[in-house]
A and B are shown apart, each in its own frame.
Chain A
Amino acid sequence: MTKLKELEQYRAEIEQCVKCGACRAHCPVFGAEKHEGRVARGKVALAGALLDGKIGLEEKVLFDLSQCLLCGSCTAQCPNKVPTEEIVAAARRRIAREKGLSSFGRGMTTVLRRQKLLNLLAKTGGSMAKLLFKKLPESSGLRLRFPLPYLDPDRTLPEFTAKPFRERVPEWIEGEAGQPTVAFFTGCGINYMYPAVGEALLRALKFLGVSVVIPKDQGCCGLPAVSAGAGAAVEELAAQNLKALTARPVDFIVTACASCHAGLGKVYADLGAEYRALGAKVEDIFVFLANHGLPEKLAALPAAEKKVRVTYHDPCHLRTQGITREPRRILAALPQVEFVEMTGAGTCCGLGGTYSVYHYETSKQIGAKKATAIADSGAALVATDCPGCIMQLQDSINHAGGRQKAVHILELLNDALP
């Protein structure tokens, strides 16, 4: 099988960095840490020095390269489009190969690669929730009662479901004739933490008469493994998902998680032609819904008497692929929603997958800015299109003492559908 690209294969891209410093204006980590090692320009310089043998895998190099959310904000704004997130991910793969995965990275990839173990852990987590977690007063999440490895007790977490989403639904849902057939790639967030989002997605597709397949043997998209530098795990998961998603012919593969969208649509592209063909079918759910007549159908619904003020947070993995209009279009079209923009809607929430596990303090600092912007917008809800962002946004709001709730747009759509 073709492998993900090695750091050596990024030499030309590394040399494309003209060290202008433009990335300093857009990197959330640099915004919090103000150190050249934390910004794209610095990390690209370190990657170049590694390639040239001018520096080894010293602690400080590992630290700086770990300080990246892989949000892609730098690349989106880079005059030369230097793909820093890909360069950093390749550097992390080299680090993992030469120095081994971190203990968290090891544990995480072990679990992600074994679906049954993941199911078991999630279910255990769900059934033990009362014992392990305490509910926060606003019911917007849980906090740990006892210390657990890798989990900061100060962090708000969503409740793990006792019954994963994919076990709740049939594998095939027949739609109307003449409507497209889509595969729903649920991702771990929806499967284990936000099953209601998955159910809302199915309702929206049913509303349009779309046929849906939800392959039981799909797995994690692999993005957390990309972040940890676990290249082999990414490739294994990609192969598993390719098999699961091509078992039945479909017109589109929809995701309701920005990270999964990037995993399937972008990361896999390096693995070969069949993966690129898979990626070409991947569509964010709101792009799909917008292209298949949902806004028009929503416009025909009666206006709600009472509207709730909602703002939108752009998940990095959609924003950097230019998907910013469709989620807003659907959100603003909901009869019960009064949509307001917030300042910095397009800046990262600070989760960055495993980033927030390794660097929770910085992650919280980045999230704090977001919480302020949400509060300043006057919205009661912040809606987004990524379970990971929902988790981080709620955590940030709770730390700021806010009363807003972070939700998926699909949950609001669910409330609006007749």
Chain B
Amino acid sequence: MLESHIITELKTLVGAANVSTENADLICYSYDATQQQFLPEVVVHPGSTEEISAVIKLANREKIPVFPRGAGSGFTGGALPTKGGIVLVTERLDQILLIDEENLVATVQPGVVTEQFQQAVEKVGLFYPPDPASLKFSTLGGNVAECAGGPRCVKYGVTKDYILGLEIVTPTGDIIRTGGPTMKGVVGYDLTKLMCGSEGTLGVITKIVIKLLPLPEAKKTMLVLFDSIDGAAQAVSAIIRGKIIPTTLEFMDAATIDCVRKATGLQVPDAARAVLIIEVDGDADVIDRQAAKIAEIIQPLGVVETRIATTAAESEALWQIRRSVSASLRKVNPDKFNEDICVPRSKVPEMIRKVDAIAGKYNIPIVNFGHAGDGNIHVNVMIDKKVPGELEKAEQAIEEVFRGALELGGTMSGEHGVGIAKAAYIPLELSPEASEYMKTIKRALDPNNILNPGKIFLDN
């Protein structure tokens, strides 16, 4: 337990109403989408950068671990208070501070919900492309900390490609700015990029300067059913070879289609063994041509059926199918291990075959879907933890999946990060020297190891 004088001091720093040691609050800030639970000792809701700085200074002085938290929707445990201490909630910092239409730049606080930001910029004809599946509730601070991806990344890139600058509170409580609102800037190390995806271990993000694009005039969504995963994968390559980069190229394998069919009553012919959701955006007259060209290119590749949305509502309905995937998986088994490996996109069919073989070897259902356009596959290992031995089998299967992805020149995480879920597997991907290089940075910036300890690396 934290000593009472610490709690008193925290209350002085951020106001008594924003500090809680009540059991109910500790429980409410003990979990995230990993379904693991760790109780903090205190939950703090600071209201400004200065308050965050003061809290971190206190934590650094007293060597109390601090766990920054946005919406708590991460899949790898990035926000879990694994070592007790302080959960530092950034949700009160929820203001869009500036949308600069002249320079196509915005400045926001970390607690702004991603979709609300997108809607705000779209109202003035601008566009913020990163669109994680959790966009309706995840926060931009969390998106930056984890370097969130999403379906549109195949054309537009991930969160870090839109972050021009940050204000951060360092692990010792200093307030610094990295980068800024210019499109170029090469003074010193690129700390902005270092912070993106650092999972809250190197600083607390308190302001974000974001690059915006003009909002594409129109978009067109297509759902294409294939008779094999190979057909779908060849379609991805064929489209890109055809010099079209769609906004999104999402795929679902046969197991995923079965899940969605059961959960939502989706009408899909039995012959469909893979699905691609393809979206193109741009000028209205261009996207019709692009959609027609895509349909033509992929037709010989085992297409069972093509559905093209003609209205925004129809487009939304197609996307709803993709969004319902994650939850529909529970119909397979109650416990889900959601991995997000990424391989070079031409290797997607090979990777799916590897995963299928692993599923067969361990006799565990594994369901694959994801962002085929950038080779990012969500591999969902479905088990019932209550069945003895299942958990161990799942862990072995996951390790083999990671090894398989790495053999193909891939990575074990495309967009979820490492957190605690993948920390044990880091040596598979990073050489000891590379790990040490990263740990040296952490040690230098956070000498007392107070900021999100135990994340990314097992022993930090």
A positions within 8 Å CB-CB of B: 15-16, 18-25, 34-37, 42, 45-46, 49, 54-55, 58, 60-61, 63-64, 78-80
Known: A37-B24, A79-B327. A19 touches B134 (CB 8 A): no
B115 to A, closest residue via Cβ? A25
Asked whether, in the complex, the Cβ of B28 is within 8 Å of the Cβ of A46, the reply is yes
A157 → chain B closest CB, angstroms: 31
Chain A residue with the shortest CB-CB distance to B69: A36
Q: Which chain B residue lies CB-closest to A48?
A: B27
Q: A24-B137, A25-B137, A34-B92 are in contact. Are A18 and B115 (CB under 8 A)?
A: no
C-alpha spacing A34/B115, complex, angstroms:
16
Q: Mark B319-363, 1 if CB is under 8 A from A, else 0.
A: 000001011101000101000000000000000000000000000
8 A-B pairs closest in CB distance: A79-B327, A25-B136, A21-B73, A60-B24, A36-B28, A24-B137, A42-B28, A60-B22
| Interface assignment of B41: CB less than 8 Å from any CB of chain A | no
Q: Which residue of A lies closest to B324 (CB)?
A: A79
CB pair B24 A46 closer than 8 Å: yes
Contact B27 A18 (CB under 8 A): no
Q: Are A18 and B137 CB-contacts (below 8 A) given A25-B113, A37-B25, A42-B28?
A: no
How many Å from the CB of B345 to the closest CB on chain A? 27
Which partner residue on chain A sits nearest B92 by CB separation?
A: A34
Complex: A34 Cα to B33 Cα, angstroms = 18
B376 close to A (CB within 8 Å)? no
Residue contact B27 to A55, C-beta cutoff 8 Å: yes
**Measured CA separation A23–B136 after assembly (Å):** 9
Chain B residues with CB under 8 Å of A80's CB are 327, 330
Q: Which residues of B contact A22 (CB under 8 A)?
A: 134, 136-137
Asked if B23 and A20 make an inter-chain contact with CB atoms under 8 angstroms apart, the answer reads no
Q: Is B227 an interface residue (CB 8 A)?
A: no
Q: A24–B24 Cα gap in the complex (Å)?
A: 18
Q: Give bound CA distance, A80 to B330, whole Å.
A: 8
Within the assembled complex, what's the spacing in Å between the Cα atoms of A58 and B324? 36
A34 to B34, CA, bound (A): 21
Residue of A nearest to B24 (CB): A60
Q: Which residues of B contact A61 (CB under 8 A)?
A: 23-24
- 14 pairs, A vs B, C-beta closer than 8 Å: A15-B334, A18-B330, A19-B31, A19-B72, A21-B33, A21-B138, A24-B137, A25-B115, A34-B94, A36-B28, A42-B27, A60-B25, A61-B23, A78-B327
Bound Cα distance from A22 to B138, whole angstroms: 9
Chain B residues near A18 (CB-CB < 8 A): 33, 35, 327, 330, 336
Q: A55 to B24: give the CA distance in the assembly, Å.
A: 7
Shortest B71–chain A CB gap in Å is 5
Q: Assuming A18-B35, A20-B326, A22-B136, is B22 touching A58 (CB within 8 A)?
A: yes
A19–B35 CB distance below 8 A: yes
Closest residue of A by beta carbon distance from B94: A34
Taking CB atoms, residues of chain B closer than 8 Å to A21 are: 32-33, 71-73, 134, 137-138
Within the complex, the shortest CB–CB distance from B119 to chain A, in Å, comes to 10
Contact A58 B32 (CB under 8 A): no
For A15, A20, A49, the residue with the greatest tally of chain B CB atoms inside 10 Å of its CB is A20
- Given A22-B136, A34-B94, verify A46-B27 contact (CB < 8 Å): yes
Instruction: For the complex formed, measure the closest distance between the CB of B331 and the CB atoms of chain A, giving whole angstroms.
Output: 10
Is A49 within 8 A of B35, CB to CB? no
B415 contacts partner chain A, Cβ-Cβ < 8 Å: no
Contacts of A79 in B (CB 8 A): 324, 326-328
Q: Which interface residue of B23, B45, B71 has the most chain A CB atoms within 10 A?
A: B23
**Complex alpha-carbon distance, A6 and B115, angstroms:** 37
Contact yes or no, A36 B29, CB < 8 A: yes
Q: Decide yes or no: A24 and B23 within 8 Å by CB, A34-B92, A79-B326 being known contacts.
A: no
Q: How far is the CA of A61 from the CA of B20 in the complex (A)?
A: 13
| Residues on A with beta carbons closer than 8 Å to the beta carbon of B24 | 37, 46, 55, 58, 60-61, 63-64
Is the C-beta of B91 less than 8 angstroms from some C-beta in chain A?
yes
B75's closest neighbor in chain A, by CB? A20
Q: Which chain B residues numbered 95 to 132 have a C-beta less than 8 Å away from chain A?
A: 111, 113, 115
Q: Which of B27, B33, B328 touches A20 (beta carbons < 8 Å)?
A: B33
What 0/1 readout, one digit per residue, does chain B (32-51) give for beta carbons within 8 Å of chain A? 11110000000001000000
**Which chain B residues lie closer than 8 Å to A20 at the CB level?**
33, 73, 134, 326-327
**Of A19, A36, A55, A63, which contacts B23 at CB under 8 A?**
A55
Chain A residue at smallest Cβ distance from B23: A55
**Per a CB cutoff under 8 Å, which of A16, A25, A37 touches B28?**
A37
**Quick one: closest B residue to A25, CB to CB?**
B136
Given contacts A37-B25, A45-B31, A46-B28, contact A24 B71 (CB under 8 A): yes
Instruction: Give every chain B residue within 8 A of A55 (Cβ-Cβ).
Output: 23-24, 27
Contacts of B91 in A (CB 8 A): 34
Residue of B nearest to A17 (CB): B35
Give chain A nearest CB distance to B377 CB in angstroms. Answer: 20
Report how far A395 CA is from B71 CA in the complex, Å.
32
Chain B residues, Cβ within 8 Å of A78: 327
Instruction: Give the complex CA separation of A20 and B35 in angstroms.
Output: 8
Shortest Cβ distance from B113 into A: residue: A25
Residues of A within 8 A of B72 (CB): 19, 21, 36
Cα-based distance from A58 to B45 in the complex (angstroms): 21
Complex CA gap A303/B188 in Å reads: 72
Q: Fill in one digit per residue for B84-98: 1 if any A CB lies within 8 Å of its CB, else 0.
A: 000000011010000
Whether the pair A19, B33 counts as a contact (CB closer than 8 A) is: yes
A243→B376 CA distance, assembly (Å): 60
Report how far A336 CA is from B8 CA in the complex, Å.
63
Q: Tell me the bound Cα distance from A54 to B22 in angstroms.
A: 13
- In angstroms, Cα B331 to Cα A80, docked, is 10
Q: With the chains together, A36 CA to B22 CA distance in Å?
A: 13
Could you tell me the distance between the alpha carbons of A78 and B327 in the complex, rounded to whole angstroms?
A: 9
Q: Which of B28, B71, B72 has the largest number of chain A CB atoms within 10 A?
A: B28
- Which of chain B's residues have a CB closer than 8 A to the CB of A19? 31-35, 72
B279, chain A: closest CB distance, angstroms: 22
Question: Is there an interface contact between B35 and A54, defined as CB atoms closer than 8 Å?
Answer: no
Task: Type the 1/0 row for B64-79, where 1 means its CB is closer than 8 Å to any CB of A.
Answer: 0000000111000000
Residues in B neighbouring A23, C-beta threshold 8 A: 137
B71 touches A54 (CB 8 A): no
Which one, B27, B327, B330, contacts A45 given CB within 8 A?
B27
Report the minimal beta-carbon distance from A372 to chain B, rounded to whole angstroms: 15
Closest chain B CB from A92 CB (angstroms): 15
- State how many angstroms separate the Cβ of B26 from the closest Cβ of chain A: 9
